[in-house]
Each structure stands twice: as C-alpha cells, then as structure tokens.
Structure 1
Amino acid sequence: MVADRSLPTIGMLWMEGSLSFLEQMCMLSFVECGHRVVLFHYGQVDNVPDGIELVSANEIHEPKQFIVNNQFKTPVPQSDIFRLHLMKKTDFLWCDTDVLALAPIPRADHVFGYFNRDTICNAVMRLPPDSPTLNAYSEYCQDPYPIRPWVEGEEREELERQKRAGELPHASDQEHSVYGPGVMTWFLRHHDELKHASPIPVFFPLPFRRAGQANDIHVREFRDAYIKEETLAVHLWGRRMRWWIANGINRHSFLDRRLRNLGVRPGDAPLPRHGRGGLKPVEFPANLPTMRATTEEIHDATGGVVSVALLSDREDYLKAAQADLDAIAADNLYGAYTPPRVGFSRGWEHYGSDPARLNALGMSLYNYADSHQSLPDLRTPKTFAEKLVVMKLFGEVPDALISDRSKYVGSASELLACPQRTWEAHIPALPETLDLGPGQYWLKGTMSHGHKLALSFPLDRTQRDDANQKLAAWHKTKTPEGFWTGEWWRATQKPLYYIEEDLSAGDRQAGTWKFWVIAGKVQLVQVDRDRGRGRVQMLHDRDYRYVEDELSSPTSSAVELRPERFDDMIQIAEALGQDLECACVELFPVGDRICLSDIMLSPVSGKHKIRSDALDQRLGAAWTGTRLFPG
C-alpha cells in the first residue's frame, strides 16, 4: 500500500527484541490508514511486519546510558526522552507502539490530547521545533537527576541541596513517568500551548482502568461505549493490556476484530512471558575477566551501529565472550589461528580486530541466552544450538556462496532449477524502461529476508510506485539483518536489489521443503504449514519417517505426502551442503522441476530455541566429522 504523503509519518521506538501481535496490530493499523510508519530501534528487532520501515534510533539520539525504570524494568524514561529528540530533528508524529489507529491523523504542528480531565498523555504527540514547550521540556529531560518544574520554595531548596550532595535519586529510581505526561502537561500550560490539546475521545477514549474491555465485550458494545465520531485512535495501555490478554484473545471482541481485519495472528508473535512461568535471569560465571576493549572501542569497531549505551547494558555478556575467546585462543580450538582454505572465508578474519570479534561473540551469547536462559558451552559444545554459535565465528563459508549463489550451485545444477535474475542494481529504483515479459516475479533486497515483494508484469503505474516506495524503504535499512545475529556472511556486500522469476507461480505443489544438512548429510526435513490461526511444522528424517519432536512451532500428525522426487531433493541438498558445516537447503517441487529457494547457513540464527531438547541433542551429536568438530 502506497503511503499518503499528505499525512504525517508515524515515528515509533522499540528498543530491541521481538514484537508481539499487539505491537504488530497497532503498527499495521497506521499503514492501513495511509501513514508511513518508521520504527526506530537500538538493537535487533524481530517479527517486524511488512510495510514497517526500520531505522537505527542512533540517527535521532545516541545516549551514553539507557535510563530504565528500576521499579517496573521498563525503558519508559528513555522513550520519553527519545520522542523529544524526534520532534526536534523530524516532522514525524510520535505514537507509542500500543496506539491503534482507526482513521488517518491529519498533519498539524501541534498534536496531543487529554487522557483525563486534567492531564495530557504523550503517547500521541507532535510539537514544532520552535515550540517553547519542546525546548523547555527537552532541557528538563537532559537532567538525569530531575526536580519537577512545579516544585517551589523550601521544597525545591531541599531537593537542590540533596542533588548537590548526591542524595537525590537518579531518574531510573524515580517514578516511571519522571519525564512523562505530568511534566509535559505542566510545560504546555506554562507556555500557553495547552490550547492545542484534543479532547479525550480523539486519542484516549478507553480509560486505563477499563482497558480490558477491548477484549472482554463484543465489538459492537465496545464501539457504542467508547468510539466516538471524532475518535482517530485508541491508546491500549500496553503494560496493562498485555496482562489482561495473557490468556488469549476473545472471539468477536474489539481486539479480535482488528487483528483479523489486519491479518495479524497472535500465535505467530506471542506476548512475552512474565511472572510465574516467565523468563529466568541468566546466571553468569563468577570472576568474569575484565574486557580488554572499552565500550567506546567496540562501538567504533561496529562502525557506530551498536551504541555505547547498549554495550554497557550487555557488559556481562561481553565479559563472558572475553572469557570464551581467551580459552579458545589459549588452546587454538577450532583452528582459531589457522587460516581458512583458499576460496573460503571465516567470521574470525571478517571481523579482523579483537573489539569487533568481542562484539560479535557477545551478541551471539546474548541471543542464545535470550531464548535458552543460560549461556552456551563453547569449549565442549554438545547441542546443535551451541555448535551453531561456534560455527558463526570459526566455520568456513565458500566465497562463491557469499558472492553469487548461482555460481555455487555447481554440481547440483543438472537436477535443479534456479530462478533467473532479470534485473539487479545497487540503486533503489526501478528503471522506467524496465519491461519484462508477462508473468510473476519477485522483487528482493539483500539486507533482510523480509525484503521481498511479489510483482506481476506488465506493471501498471500504481504497482510501479508501490515497488519504488518499497525499495526506498528497504534502502534505509543501513544495518544488514545478519549483523545482529553474527551472520557475517549476510553483511559483507553493499545493498543489492533484484528481480527474479517466480518459479512457483501457478503450479506449486506443497510449498517449501527445508533440508537440514549437517556434516554433509540430511538429518532433518522440515515443512511448514498454516493451520487456521497458527503455524505448524512437520518434521521427517532422511528416510521420510515422521519425527514427533518440535522445532520452533507445534507439530501435527497430518503428515505431508512424500514428494515424488524426494530422493532427488535429498541428493541436491547434500550436494549443496557437502562443503558446509551445516545448512538448511530450501527446495520446492514445481511440476517435474525441483527449484531452489534459499541456502541458509544458520537455520535458527543461533537465537531461537529448538523446542524439543532431545532434537537439539540429536542434531548436535550428528554434527561430527567436520573441520570444526572432527570427532
């Protein structure tokens, strides 16, 4: 959908981590209303829906330290600061990721509204750069030991004394709204800009204490009770709403209706777990070594992509990475100081410096711990997930596979059909003269697996404009997706955009089949299917026996029929994987052809946990007899 340029661009912030269906729904609601949506982030973000642009938050504000509220463990104070920098540097309209759009929000210099009789909420806000409120509010938020602006007299004198003596609590230990709505309201009133405020029903028709009714009552009853003619959006009070909907979305509720209309499935992007049954803190070894690189040196080694604040937050992971690197280097494990074979490359040489290697391994440890709640054993790894972390830094990857997949196909080409590229360029725009033969194609970008758009030639003007807008949005992704997961081979080249034929058009039999090749042999065959409102994965072994274990989604006993050319698919996958430590080769049958979709060197990115521990152990045990794990 092409954005309406007369509408303001929506700016949002997600520090890092996976989006849930709640945030996906809210973001897509603005896209549906015609807004361009830019999601700023400091770390890796997963589950980003199509149509949302990702931009590094460092381009707007790069703090030395994140201010996180210690009571609720939320980055609300940092988010409150970020949106003020956004106001000064862009003409974007700020919206929290829990604001659901119902209608387009017109462009205006001042956009904000009351959430109760007396107070403005900064979940939806726009102030012009020359606003006296914005300037005073920003100056207040630069103080990490703030004193509320309305405090006067002896009380202020006492707080100032405490501040000079180092006794005043840091912003992270004050109220979570230390930089939030109350302060914003005071500055607006003080500078006579409160007159621009919208009434409650425009953005905040749903009261905080009744947030659960978005899921508890029928959509018609909800609309009659809360949605008014002037309502443009609904603030869903995310922290409270997540607690309220933890047990599921009720059928025919307001949330259910919006999720269905926007095509968002809760099972594909679940809510994070909290409280009983939630994630446990990661335990780090005692006596971690001191890092031999400073956070500033690591920041510089990443080209400024990773902020000092983010590195400071992950200091324990970096120290654990330092301990692992020291042990690996001392024993020359994994041939750390043995150059790769001619025609191959490794992450060790790619990163080139100790600070860059430390950051790469630190990110891998963080990603692993985020899903496993423990650190991997990299000195005597046993599971597939542990060995995958090692492979990303020390495993050899053929240069041909990195530079041009079609050249790498080689010996398997006689049995395999590869989609032909019909156009490619580093410039993110389709030539006006581009006119391919009638048919179905894919427009793709190399910066992310999510950068793909189906095209049908001949293109009309609307399709061409949509494609060019996609390309322009993709080009703003300055950090390759693989950077955050340590998949260096996905971050070695400048962005490339291309069109290739869609070999599956009109005759696809059973979707994509994923062959897990480990140590040169297929150990697992995976096929994904959509079932109702969720995804299932069916697993088979090399002889096509059904495997009851679960990979990353629930399994199903509705086993897929064995493809007619299954043996040929096995042969192709093993031929493509013979020079690789491990790979997931994606193939799909079309008529009498077998087509290549992708070759993934890191099937779960070293980030997502294999649901069945026994499967993780078996795949790890099968990973032997290679250059990394010879015995």
Structure 2
Amino acid sequence: MSNTIRRPVASLWIGERLHYLNQMCLLSHVQAGHPTTLYCTDTVTNVPEGVEVRPATEIMDIDMAIVEQTSASFLSNVFRYKMIKKTDAVWIDCDAFCHRPFPDEMQNIYAGHGFRGALNCGVVYIPREGELIDVLLDYYENLPEAPPWFNKQQRKRIAKQDTSLPQAVRIYNAERTAFGPQAFTYFAQQTGDYEKALSHDVLYPVPFQLNDIFYDPYGRVEGWFTDATLSVHLYTNGTKPWWRKNVPLENSYAARMAAQTGVDPAKALEE
C-alpha cells in the first residue's frame, strides 16, 4: 500500500451490498494512496476497510422513486458533478480499477471508450469552476422537453411517454444514456472541452464489447494497456450473469486483481 497521500476520489452506491468487483476496485484506489469515499443511500454491509462511508445526502437527495423507474446508476450521472463541485474529488465508478494513481496536476480526467468515440464519464474530473460543469448542472436541474442533441426518432420516443411521469424518467425511457455519456459528450463539444479528452487507453483500455476478457485466464488483458493507462474499467453493467455469480477463474484478470487487493470473491458474489 502506498504511503503517499494523493488527491481524493469518490463514488456512489445505491443498495446494501457490494459485489467483489466493486470491493477490489474501491480498494485499488485506497492502496494507491487516494483517500476514497463511498457515498451511500443505504447501510452497506461489506464496504472494505480503508474506504470512508458518507451519506449520499451530503451531496444531494436521491429520489428513490426515480431510481425504481430507471436504474440504480441513473441519478449517479447527476451526483458525480455535484460531488465534484462540492468536494473537488475525482469521480470513479465502482467498477473502475486503479492501475496507477491519478496525477495531482491533471485537471481534465475523461476519455472516450469503445469503438464509437463518444466520451464516457465512468471516471471523470473537470474543474469545479468552469463552463462545462455549469452547463451540465444546469441541464440536470432544468431538464428540457428533449435534450438538444436528440434526433427526430428520439424526440418521438419522448412524445410517446406518459406525461405524468417525471421528465427525467421520460428522457431515460427514450434514451438510457441521455443523462450519462450522451450529455457529457454533447456539452463538452459545446464548451470546447471535448478536445481536452484523454485517449481511450488512459481510462478505458479494454473496449466495452470485449469485457469477457477480464474473466478469461488466457485473456492477456494487460496487452491492451499502455504506459499512459491509469484506470481499467470492468464494465460490470455488461458482465454476464455467470461471472457475477461465480468465483473468477484462476489467473484471470479479475482473480489476480482480487488477490492483489486482498478481496475474497467467494464472500461477495451476486445472490
């Protein structure tokens, strides 16, 4: 474990229990020297030692009725920018493994992922004072009838939604990523911050479409890494059910990183 105190990182958990992948990802930041905070909506029974637990309400109220109509991660897209604005910490998804510490001087931590070139916001830091964070927060706090980048088909999907639903839910039902990568990409393009994005190998070295490689003992995950790689996203929202419910195969990346961080996968499998 590093003795160096680095810049803080933080995430959000909606629920009562972490999966072993979440445990090892959080611990990887602790062990790299990052003060690591997990904001929680519930009492989480298996947060690893070294991770500070704080109530999510310190940042914002989480409307559980909206969560139930969307997904557990949906409102985290709002939460991360409010958290950055209030605490100046780096946002990390709970499935982002710290390969190397985030440099203290790095002011724009975000990158594209996969094969499409859109920006992801699974690991993100932007200056807490600036146009990009202001327009993002304004978007979330004053939701339009339709996001400005929506095409004709997307706008039709919103129009078909029950008008009694919260506007956030109507937008989500029309396009699941309209609060996350789509919003971040669009507004970064509008403010000129898109050009400041890191290359995909820094935060998302393995494409989302190939996420099974983390559980393959012959997968050679590190072959995707470069000298610039800081974080490795494990994309648990795309992980097949079998991998979530079973101990990872020996010598797979998931098994090796669990051992490296001291996590026992058998004690935190999906039930």
For normalisation by structure 1, the TM-score amounts to 0.39
Deviations 1:530-568 (A, max 9, x none): xxxxxxxxxxxxxxxxxxxxxxxxxxxxxxxxxxxxxxx
In structure 1, the gaps of 5 or more residues are 274-631
TM-fit CA distance, 1:4: 3.0
What pairs with 1:125-204 in structure 2 (closer than 5 Å)? Answer: 125-143=124-142, 147-151=146-150, 170-204=170-204
Q: Which residue of 2 aligns with 1:207?
A: 207
Q: Which residue of 1 aligns with 2:81?
A: 84
Q: Which residue of 1 aligns with 2:238?
A: 240
Greater RCO (CA < 8 Å, at least 6 residues apart): 2
Q: Which residue of 2 aligns with 1:100?
A: 97
The 1-side partners of 2:175 and 2:247 are apart by 30
- Gap change, CA 1:242 and 1:48, over 3 Å in 2: farther
TM-fit CA distance, 1:63: 4.0
TM-fit CA distance, 1:17: 0.8
Deviations 1:484-540 (A, max 9, x none): xxxxxxxxxxxxxxxxxxxxxxxxxxxxxxxxxxxxxxxxxxxxxxxxxxxxxxxxx
- Gap change, CA 1:157 and 1:115, over 3 Å in 2: closer
Code of the residue aligned with 2:31 in structure 1: it is E
The 2-side partners of 1:18 and 1:263 are apart by 18
Deviations 1:114-151 (A, max 9, x none): 10342111000011122212111111112466512224
SS of residue paired to 2:120: strand
TM-fit CA distance, 1:176: 2.6
SS of residue paired to 1:257: helix
Structure 1 residue 56 corresponds to structure 2 residue 55: yes
The 1-side partners of 2:194 and 2:49 are apart by 37
What pairs with 1:78-477 in structure 2 (closer than 5 Å)? Answer: 78-107=75-104, 108-116=106-114, 117-143=116-142, 147-151=146-150, 170-218=170-218, 221-224=220-223, 226-241=224-239, 243-245=241-243, 246-271=245-270, 273=271
Contact 1:11 1:39 in 2 (8 A): yes
In structure 2, the gaps of 5 or more residues are none
The 2-side partners of 1:66 and 1:87 are apart by 24
- Gap change, CA 1:244 and 1:208, over 3 Å in 2: farther
TM-fit CA distance, 1:20: 1.5
- Relative to total residues, which structure has the larger helix share, 1 or 2? 2
Q: Which residue of 1 aligns with 2:11?
A: 12
SS of residue paired to 2:256: helix
Contact 1:18 1:45 in 2 (8 A): yes
SS of residue paired to 1:178: coil
- Gap change, CA 1:155 and 1:249, over 3 Å in 2: closer
Contact 1:114 1:197 in 2 (8 A): yes
- Gap change, CA 1:159 and 1:56, over 3 Å in 2: same
The 2-side partners of 1:223 and 1:161 are apart by 45
Give RMSD over aligned pairs: 2.8
Aligned residues: 266
- Relative to total residues, which structure has the larger strand share, 1 or 2? 1
TM-fit CA distance, 1:204: 0.5
Q: Which residue of 2 aligns with 1:412?
A: none
Code of the residue aligned with 1:27 in structure 2: it is L
TM-fit CA distance, 1:193: 0.5
TM-fit CA distance, 1:3: 5.7
Q: Which residue of 2 aligns with 1:400?
A: none
